[in-house]
């Protein structure tokens, strides 16, 4: 049944997340399922169909060739106090803290709106995750209390740590540095945690809109960020408006907080516009590939945390594996590969499949069942790569700013803390800005520098770049041990990162070709089987969100030098070079965008930097489970 046109947006704001999560325009559903979506579409979209809106132009203006330009239609807009882009730990923590402060001050009308491109909160979230609870203890002190009926019920206390250096068929123990001590931490599924955090946000009055992909930053006449716009829907692959076309919507805010996670698409734009990296080094990245398994009960050790280095990665490639036992017979297993690896023949996905056959992992997985697959990039630049985080009209929070502690392999607590600091700085700035002029969150920068985030990252600033020495892996391990036990971050020097990840890639003829074994279908799997476990889905008849201006030009640039590096660095089978005798190269470059799991590796690693990851239609992409 359709929602009555009399329902207002304000009524929608009080609707549960489950209703707003289902608020996908008809363009996203097949004709057979369209009526199901329509019955849950937001009231303001239903009302929009039934009666004209004063600020929405209904006429479609076509040029002399009959082509329709979506920009000829005005967008509907909404005014809020704070708009947050991204429903991960940072964005939700900022939203909760903002409403806590507003409610404490008796300002119940203070509007905090959070946009999340995933169909539901958590669908696009990937992490290890052994969480340090410092931030959540501060934000929601009773988050685990038996007296709290809404407590988080899926936290497994970390009980035992192991660290191993792997050879092909054996391993040796490594001393555990202080940063790797997980006593008092919890193994969680960040997917579950984010869903729970979203419910807590709604309880305090945050407006959450899943399935709304913020694709454009909006600026006022002074060049100050004044909000964001969501992307248009119902555009064909050729860029033409279909019958289901709907113009995107604008959300105007006094403060806009970007919490997009690693390598955010809007963050890229704002960093460039305001030159936020003028005093920092470039960011460097890793690609994390993960599976969740249900293992046999006799192989399960609740609370066991295992990390490994060495095999299968070559000595010139930074990275390592993990295995965490959590929940009921569940095991999180994964591999992180530094994207500054030089050999274009290396495939992170293939390395992960090899790692699972090592006895350390295989003995646990054998006889179990793989139930989920995911992949996502993570920031590894650390202290040296933190940009200016405040910009006119807003700020960067969480992993989009790069607060991951790489040696500690933790970032959730610092992402949450940064969101909370930004919330406090925002409320102070809004209270002081009585004339409603431009908001500059200078206090946020100050709060960061005096926070535990800054101290923690500065202390380990030299560990990751120490692996760039001529001694490679072993030199990095030796220096990291010296840093952990002796120097403790007090040294007067700060190492610089090497080349940018894309510039670190050597030509294919300079490197040894790597042949990966055929997957056995029990422990290791082909890439399309894994992608099917990610639940990813994109409507095919829409513009390709992985933007390459000229596919033939791209092939001419990349293929002769790197022999299909895109196919190997992508963990989802998105990129292919298909044999084609009609092409001068003998191959044709192809993008299978519907496979994309939104990891952002292509945007980071492609050597000639001509792939631009942009948001597809909101609600599309992976639908992760227990990741």
Cα–Cα distance measured from residue 63 to residue 246, given in angstroms and rounded to the nearest whole number: 19
Model confidence band, residue 489 (pLDDT cutoffs 50, 70, 90)? confident
Higher-confidence residue of 57 and 35: namely 57
Cα–Cα distance measured from residue 532 to residue 535, given in angstroms and rounded to the nearest whole number: 6
Cα–Cα distance measured from residue 601 to residue 599, given in angstroms and rounded to the nearest whole number: 6
Q: Which helix (H) or strand (E) holds 338?
A: strand 330-338
Cα–Cα distance measured from residue 373 to residue 533, given in angstroms and rounded to the nearest whole number: 5
Q: Is 412 a catalytic residue?
A: yes
Please determine, for residue 10, whether its predicted confidence score (pLDDT) is greater than 50: no
Please determine, for residue 187, whether its predicted confidence score (pLDDT) is greater than 90: yes
- Reduced to 3 states (helix: H, G, I; strand: E, B; else coil), residue 243 is strand
Burial annotation 470-509 (CB, 10 A radius, 16+ → b, else e): eeebeebbebbeebbeeeebeeeeebebeebbbebbbebe
pLDDT at residue 6 in the model? 28
Packing angle of the helix pair 442-449, 412-432 (nearest 10 deg): 140
Please determine, for residue 30, whether its predicted confidence score (pLDDT) is greater than 90: no
DSSP state of 496: P
C-beta separation of 252 from 82 below 8 A: no
CA distances 402 to 138, 320, 385, 392, Å, are 21, 19, 7, 20
pLDDT at residue 449 in the model? 96
Render pLDDT for 370-418 as a digit per residue (tens, 0 to 9). 999 999 999 999 999 999 999 999 999 999 999 999 998 999 999 999 9
pLDDT at residue 42 in the model? 36
Of the candidates 100, 76, 63, which has an alpha carbon nearest to the alpha carbon of residue 9?
A: 76
Q: Which helix (H) or strand (E) holds 5?
A: none
Model confidence band, residue 61 (pLDDT cutoffs 50, 70, 90)? very low
- What is the sign of the dihedral through the CA atoms of 521, 523, 527 and 530? positive
In a domain, 306, yes or no: no
In a domain, 94, yes or no: yes
Model confidence band, residue 211 (pLDDT cutoffs 50, 70, 90)? very high
Of the candidates 380, 372, 287, 378, which has an alpha carbon nearest to the alpha carbon of residue 333?
A: 372
Share the mean pLDDT of the chain.
Answer: 88
What DSSP assignment string belongs to 37-101?
HHTTS-HHHHHHHHS--TT---PPPB-TT--B-GGGSPPPEEEEEEEEE--SHHHHHHHHHHHHH
Identify the residue whose tokens are 């807009």.
Answer: 77
Among 12-21, 25-34, 250-259, 339-348, whose mean pLDDT is lowest?
Answer: 25-34
Query: Residue 116 is encoded by which pair of tokens?
Result: 């999340």
In terms of residues, how long is the chain? 627
Average pLDDT of the residues in 115-125: 97
Catalytic-role residue among 596, 601, 615, 627: 596
Please determine, for residue 1, whether its predicted confidence score (pLDDT) is greater than 50: no
Q: Is 570 a catalytic residue?
A: yes
Catalytic-role residue among 570, 601, 615, 627: 570
Average pLDDT of the residues in 1-29: 38
Average pLDDT of the residues in 256-283: 97
pLDDT at residue 40 in the model? 32
Q: Is 376 a catalytic residue?
A: yes
In a domain, 531, yes or no: no
Q: Which among 318-322, 480-484, 491-495 has the top mean pLDDT? A: 318-322
pLDDT at residue 68 in the model? 62
Please determine, for residue 64, whether its predicted confidence score (pLDDT) is greater than 90: no
CA distances 78 to 44, 93, 426, 549, Å, are 11, 23, 20, 33
Catalytic-role residue among 127, 215, 308, 332: 127
Render pLDDT for 41-53 as a digit per residue (tens, 0 to 9). 333 333 333 223 3
Work out the angle at residue 405's Cα, subtended by the Cα atoms of residues 360 and 498, and round it to the nearest 5 degrees: 95
pLDDT at residue 476 in the model? 81
- Could you tell me the residue range of the domain that residue 203 belongs to? 73-149+189-281+382-460
Q: Is 262 a catalytic residue?
A: no
In a domain, 433, yes or no: yes
pLDDT at residue 482 in the model? 82
Cα–Cα distance measured from residue 89 to residue 414, given in angstroms and rounded to the nearest whole number: 9
pLDDT at residue 128 in the model? 85
Strand pairing of 546-547 and 394-396? unpaired
Contacts of 381 (CB under 8 A, 6+ apart): 281, 282, 283, 284, 285, 402, 464, 497
C-beta separation of 480 from 466 below 8 A: yes
Higher-confidence residue of 333 and 5: namely 333
Higher-confidence residue of 463 and 533: namely 533
In a domain, 231, yes or no: yes
In a domain, 512, yes or no: no
User: How many domains does the structure of the chain reveal?
Assistant: 1
CATH number of the domain encompassing residue 388: 3.50.50.60
Question: What number of CA atoms fall less than 13 Å from residue 296's CA on the CB side?
Answer: 9
Residue 361: Cβ within 10 Å count:
22
Contacts of 215 (CB under 8 A, 6+ apart): 228, 229, 230, 231, 248, 265, 266, 614, 615
pLDDT at residue 179 in the model? 81
pTM reported for the whole predicted model: 0.89
Please determine, for residue 288, whether its predicted confidence score (pLDDT) is greater than 90: yes
C-beta separation of 372 from 292 below 8 A: yes
In a domain, 435, yes or no: yes
Catalytic-role residue among 83, 370, 389, 602: 602
Catalytic-role residue among 171, 412, 505, 615: 412
Model confidence band, residue 571 (pLDDT cutoffs 50, 70, 90)? very high
Cα–Cα distance measured from residue 463 to residue 485, given in angstroms and rounded to the nearest whole number: 12
Catalytic-role residue among 533, 599, 601, 615: 599
Query: Residue 121 is encoded by which pair of tokens?
Result: 């909160």
Please determine, for residue 14, whether its predicted confidence score (pLDDT) is greater than 90: no
Average pLDDT of the residues in 245-269: 96
Please determine, for residue 57, whether its predicted confidence score (pLDDT) is greater than 60: no
Q: Is 511 a catalytic residue?
A: no
Render pLDDT for 221-249 as a digit per residue (tens, 0 to 9). 999 999 999 999 999 998 888 888 999 99
Catalytic-role residue among 75, 111, 376, 461: 376
């Amino acid at each position: 049944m359709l929602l009555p046109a009399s329902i207002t947006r304000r009524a929608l704001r009080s609707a549960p997340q489950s209703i707003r999560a289902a608020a996908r325009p008809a363009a996203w559903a097949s004709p057979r399922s369209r009526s199901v979506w329509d019955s849950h579409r937001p009231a303001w979209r239903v009302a929009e169909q039934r009666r004209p809106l004063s600020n929405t132009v209904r006429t479609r203006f076509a040029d002399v060739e009959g082509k329709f330009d979506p920009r000829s239609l005005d967008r509907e807009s909404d005014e809020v106090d704070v708009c947050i882009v991204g429903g991960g730990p940072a964005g939700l923590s900022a939203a909760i803290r903002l409403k806590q402060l507003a409610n404490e001050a008796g300002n119940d009308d203070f509007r905090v709106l959070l946009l999340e491109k995933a169909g539901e909160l958590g669908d696009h979230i990937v992490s290890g995750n052994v969480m340090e609870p410092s931030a959540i203890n501060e934000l929601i002190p009773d988050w685990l209390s038996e007296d709290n009926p809404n407590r988080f019920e899926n936290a497994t206390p970390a009980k035992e740590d192991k660290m191993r250096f792997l050879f092909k068929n054996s391993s040796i123990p490594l001393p555990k540095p202080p940063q790797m001590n997980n006593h008092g931490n919890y193994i969680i599924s960040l997917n579950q945690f984010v869903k729970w955090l979203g419910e807590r946000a709604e309880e305090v009055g945050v407006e959450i809109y899943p399935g709304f992909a913020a694709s454009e930053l909006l600026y006022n006449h002074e060049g100050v960020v004044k909000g964001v716009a969501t992307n248009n829907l119902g555009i064909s692959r050729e860029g033409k408006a279909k019958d289901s076309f709907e113009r995107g919507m604008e959300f105007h805010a006094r403060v806009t907080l970007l919490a997009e996670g690693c390598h955010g698409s809007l963050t890229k734009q704002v960093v460039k516009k305001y030159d936020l990296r003028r005093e920092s080094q470039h960011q460097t990245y890793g690609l994390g590939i993960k599976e969740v398994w249900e293992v046999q009960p006799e192989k399960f050790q609740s609370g066991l945390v295992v990390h490994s280095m060495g095999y299968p990665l070559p000595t010139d490639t930074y990275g390592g594996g993990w295995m965490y036992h959590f929940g009921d017979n569940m095991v999180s297993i994964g591999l992180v590969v530094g994207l500054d690896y030089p050999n274009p023949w290396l495939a992170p996905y293939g390395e992960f499949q090899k790692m699972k056959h090592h006895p350390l992992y295989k003995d646990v997985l054998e006889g179990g069942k793989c139930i989920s697959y995911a992949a996502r990039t993570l920031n590894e630049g650390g202290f040296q790569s933190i940009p200016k985080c405040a910009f006119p009209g807003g700020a960067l929070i969480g992993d989009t700013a790069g607060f991951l502690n790489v040696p500690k392999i933790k970032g959730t607590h610092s992402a949450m803390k940064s969101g909370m600091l930004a919330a406090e700085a925002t409320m102070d700035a809004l209270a002081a800005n009585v004339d409603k002029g431009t908001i500059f969150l200078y206090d946020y920068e100050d709060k960061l520098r005096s926070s535990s985030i800054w101290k923690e990252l500065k202390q380990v600033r030299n560990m990751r770049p120490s692996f760039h020495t001529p001694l490679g892996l072993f030199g990095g391990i030796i220096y990291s041990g010296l840093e952990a036990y002796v120097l403790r971050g007090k040294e007067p020097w700060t190492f610089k990162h090497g080349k940018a990840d894309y510039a670190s890639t050597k030509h294919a003829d300079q490197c040894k070709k790597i042949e990966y074994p055929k997957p056995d279908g029990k422990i290791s799997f082909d890439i399309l089987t894994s992608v099917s476990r990610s639940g990813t889905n994109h409507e095919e008849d829409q513009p390709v969100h992985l933007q390459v201006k000229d596919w033939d030009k791209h092939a001419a640039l990349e293929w002769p030098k790197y022999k299909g590096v895109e196919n190997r660095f992508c963990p989802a089978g998105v990129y292919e070079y298909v044999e084609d005798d009609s092409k001068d190269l003998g191959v044709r470059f192809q993008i299978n965008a519907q496979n994309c799991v939104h990891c952002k590796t292509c945007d980071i690693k492609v050597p000639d930097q001509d792939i631009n990851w942009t948001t597809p239609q909101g609600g599309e992409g992976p639908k992760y489970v227990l990741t």
